[in-house]
Chain A
């Protein structure tokens, strides 16, 4: 290319580049539309079918608007009982996971030793373990070691095994943002270690305790794979849904779906709004 042609060539490239960019942006937008349709259409069908009088959940075969499935749900003792079981397990999981996760995070953030990577690997390993393996090992261990039959207790333990790891990661993330000078300042002013922990470290971690509890709660309520193996003859809301779905569909599950969707949408919107507000200052 000669010096003379160089200049116009440069001028030519710019619009062409813009054109490819517009083009790839358009493809991306189209793809996003498809993707979100893929994500949301099934959920919308599920919600719509909850209001269809057709006993087979459907939107194409519409037999009239009804709320009878909503009325039927609280009458269903196994679902209600399952919900109570789920809540009990979730409560247990929070009680176990928060202290364990907190202790693990506190140790890992301050342990200056080569063992810390090993310890870290062990403590996060449950996250990377398939849920059914966690459920099965818990079931086997408690039965063999203590004669505890699978049930709500083992389900809570099995869930806590990996939920505690999630809690730990959240606490670690928070602790990494802590200004250590604060603890030192408190210590320097004559506070005992316990006092520093109670008055400085714990208040700093409090927001994470709350979010970690919430996330533990949600994870516990939602869990299927681990619970399925560890719960024995008992059941939770979710394993009950699963058990029924294996034999056919019921609009009552759609109703549960609607409830979950509503809760999720409200929670997610609140979360995104809160995040935006804090992000804007």
Chain B
């Protein structure tokens, strides 16, 4: 049971129950749609940046498991007010931590609350759940693709 609690931290469960920024965003100037075909997770990320490339507003909607929903919720809260460059850097750090490439202690220092997702590294099949919102956010900002899939 303790490994399970390691993955499903209270903060994750809270954000699953009461997701933040969980709504569409009229006036968004970036948007992308992300799928995880393995489990049917499906989200939209909406972003409004200002003329200085600062993320003014960021929201999401869609459906998915607790990990993916909490991740989207915490990510949107975290990125609000950051620059596009900072968001892309955060994506890299987050990705490296959940895939176990770098130690959570070092990598998560700059990620603050997002450290709760460090437990995902012990559940390789769930890494895609934790990173889906991030991939979708990155696609929205870089506009390489508008529909992304984790497969």
B is a partner of A: no
